[in-house]
Structure 1
Amino acid sequence: MLQTISDTSVKAALNAIESESATVPEKIQMLIEMANGLQQKPKDIQQLHDAISLYQQAIELSTQDYPLLQARALAGMGTALRTIPGEGQDLLLEAKEAYETALEILREQAAPEEVAEAEMNLGMVLQALVPYNLATMQQAIQVSQRALSKFTADKHPQEYAILQNNIAIAYLSMTLAPERESMGQAMAVQSFESALKAVNLIEHPKEYAMLQNNLANALQYLPSLHPIENNLRALSAYNEALKVRSAKDTPLEYATTISNKANLLYNLPDNPKHPEAGNYQNLLEAKNLYAQAQEIFCQYSEVEKATVVSEALSAVEAELLLSETQLTNS
């Protein structure tokens, strides 16, 4: 029976530990590098578990003699823990503890960028713990903003963009009093726009598309005295995202963006200067986009998303039928 890459790496790491020629720091570094290699592009969940096992062995070897290596192993383990798919709080709590323990050491001994990376990841874990009432969005934002003080837009554009995106999503997810809700949404839009100043379509296509899609979502639902103007800005942002996202290369991301765009078109008049004329053409485009998205979601067994889009498709078809009836009778 052929061994998986994961099995081979684990055995190689164990052999390295037993080797008399390798020093303890070398053994720790080898374990960390192998674990990191496994979690970069894991082929299955088992590889993530194997990575955690390697990190744990590195932590045990580090003890008090090599605190910086121990911190790096802890930070790596935290990332592997938070990457394992599934529902529940246990792995997230383990990741939180790993990051917090690592940061106690990193803040004293590591470069600012290494500290910021751990803070960025801790912020993501805190955000994920909010639904379990084990963290607050304010805590997640605070940690992410600390990382922003080190990951600046000019020197670290990708990290800066991801942090701003995470902060924006945190603002949108916060439960605020009605009079403050619009302020939170406006701050989210501002964060998305700040992030987009740091990245571009050519050098950072993935981040660019993600931010344009998320900015458009925020604009679409932003309370405003000028909703049509916001929707037109959102439409432009969705189209920017679709310069990167395609049915062939990124089908699920593409389906998500076109269904979001269809939601917007459903409420956007064909001629913004004459909204009273209706939106028959936009409804037709929305119908086509919903149908495409539904097909992709079904193909990839995204049942919940397919159901939501199916309901939206039925609604737009009913709206089109009503418009056609009114045109016939007029």
Structure 2
Amino acid sequence: MAAGLTSDQVRAALQAAEAEAASPADRAEMLMEIAMGLQTRPKSADEINSAIELYDKALTICPQEMRLLRARILARKATALQAMPEQGTKSLENARGLFEDVIPVLGEIGAPEEVAEAEMNLGLCLQSLVGAGRAKIPDAIAAYQRALRTFTRSAHPKEFVILQNNLATAFLSMPMTDERGKMREALAVQAFEEALKVVTIVDDPIEYAMLQNNLGNALQYVSSSHVLENNLRAIEAYDEALKVRTRETMPIEYANTISNKANCLWNLPGHVATSETGRGMNLSMALVYYREAREIFAAHGDVGRAQIVGEALMQIERELMELSAVLDRPSVLHS
């Protein structure tokens, strides 16, 4: 039914585009707007394909001298190609080429926001292509940073948050084998913190929780001489995320966050507590979280993560038994 409706919409749009009453530029713009509507929250690849078809028709109608309109149509077509589900990277690489072609034109005769949006989408394309070895992550980072010249926190908070989250993810995906790696980790933490200056638990609780969880992960793994401070800050971030991610309302997200918190407790430096007893308390808390996370993952059919958590559980149980022997007291394990 949905696919049929899309076909009818496309046919109607193409028929309207042939009408002589409107100018070619007006008809091209109309097709672009209809394509953008199809592309918004698509229910299937058919809708994205239909949008691309309309963008192509718009380009055939649009006069060559209408450089700005053509650049806008091409930029929108690129976003449709980005959204195309496929095996391989052909659509992403086509999108990348379109963005690289239109950005100079938009920079010359378009609005700064149009350039920044294209740069942000180019960065996403590049970041997606990195895993296939078809792009380099520094190029994605550079595109995001160019977009931030326009999408500032005060002027465009929504885009600013998206860019900071993308930047942080990009920084963390780079190898951390040298001193520059430590700087990139610190920059990732800073990016999450910048985003959290905009996103609040009241206005956007879901995104707030995601950012806090990601900040906790970044803090937990950052290479720093302040290991204790970073881990304690990570636990605070996870606790903030858990104000939103509850077992009742978001079970998988809740399980992810308590797993992350458990790992943080497990890896707290020994000097957090003044004795083995303090270490045992941290391990016991981690054990409780891991058990609950494994139960949730298993209940939702996520066998892979349930197995990973189960392996961590076994290691913690061994460590607790060793501590119990050292302290010469009964095991703190509770079945």
TM over 0.5: yes
Find the counterpart in structure 1 of residue 329 from structure 2.
327
- For residues 304 and 89 of structure 1, do their structure 2 counterparts lie closer, same or farther at Cα, with a shift above 3 Å needed? farther
Matched residues in 2 for 1:73 and 1:298: separation?
A: 46
What SS class does the counterpart of residue 244 from structure 1 fall into?
coil
- For residues 2 and 80 of structure 1, do their structure 2 counterparts lie closer, same or farther at Cα, with a shift above 3 Å needed? closer
Contact 1:269–1:282 under 8 Å retained in 2: no
Find the counterpart in structure 2 of residue 64 from structure 1.
64
**What amino acid is the match of 1:175?**
P
Task: Tell me how far 1:317 sits from its aligned partner.
Answer: 4.5
**What amino acid is the match of 2:329?**
L
Find the counterpart in structure 2 of residue 225 from structure 1.
225
Alignment of 1:70-149 (within 5 A): 70-149=70-149
Contact 1:126–1:135 under 8 Å retained in 2: yes
More divergent stretch after superposition (318-327 vs 147-156): 318-327
Task: Tell me how far 1:211 sits from its aligned partner.
Answer: 2.1
Alignment of 1:196-211 (within 5 A): 196-211=196-211
- Structure 2 residues not aligned, in runs of 5+: none
Contact 2:188–2:218 under 8 Å retained in 1: yes
Find the counterpart in structure 1 of residue 34 from structure 2.
34
- For residues 27 and 185 of structure 1, do their structure 2 counterparts lie closer, same or farther at Cα, with a shift above 3 Å needed? same
More divergent stretch after superposition (24-33 vs 215-224): 24-33
More divergent stretch after superposition (82-91 vs 214-223): 82-91
Percentage of pairs with the same residue: 48
Alignment of 1:6-17 (within 5 A): 6-17=6-17
Matched residues in 1 for 2:210 and 2:129: separation?
A: 22
**What amino acid is the match of 2:214?**
N
Matched residues in 1 for 2:207 and 2:309: separation?
A: 25
Find the counterpart in structure 2 of residue 189 from structure 1.
189
More divergent stretch after superposition (269-278 vs 236-245): 269-278
Matched residues in 2 for 1:296 and 1:23: separation?
A: 59
Task: Tell me how far 1:315 sits from its aligned partner.
Answer: 3.4
Q: Max radius of gyration: which structure? A: 2
What SS class does the counterpart of residue 223 from structure 2 fall into?
coil
**What amino acid is the match of 1:209?**
A
Task: Tell me how far 1:301 sits from its aligned partner.
Answer: 5.2
Matched residues in 2 for 1:307 and 1:301: separation?
A: 11
Task: Tell me how far 1:133 sits from its aligned partner.
Answer: 3.0
Matched residues in 2 for 1:220 and 1:75: separation?
A: 38
- For residues 53 and 323 of structure 1, do their structure 2 counterparts lie closer, same or farther at Cα, with a shift above 3 Å needed? farther
Contact 2:24–2:61 under 8 Å retained in 1: yes
For 1:2-27, what per-residue CA distance to the aligned partner results, in whole angstroms no more than 9, with x for missing partners? Answer: 75543343233223223344433333
Matched residues in 2 for 1:117 and 1:235: separation?
A: 35
Matched residues in 1 for 2:255 and 2:83: separation?
A: 23
Matched residues in 1 for 2:112 and 2:9: separation?
A: 31
Find the counterpart in structure 1 of residue 237 from structure 2.
237
**What amino acid is the match of 2:14?**
L
Report the TM-score, using the length of structure 2 for normalisation.
Answer: 0.85
Alignment: residue pair count: 330
Find the counterpart in structure 1 of residue 265 from structure 2.
265
Task: Tell me how far 1:232 sits from its aligned partner.
Answer: 0.9
What SS class does the counterpart of residue 329 from structure 2 fall into?
helix
For 1:60-86, what per-residue CA distance to the aligned partner results, in whole angstroms no more than 9, with x for missing partners? Answer: 322514322222222222222222345
Matched residues in 2 for 1:303 and 1:273: separation?
A: 35
Matched residues in 2 for 1:134 and 1:196: separation?
A: 32
**What amino acid is the match of 2:312?**
A
- Structure 1 residues not aligned, in runs of 5+: none
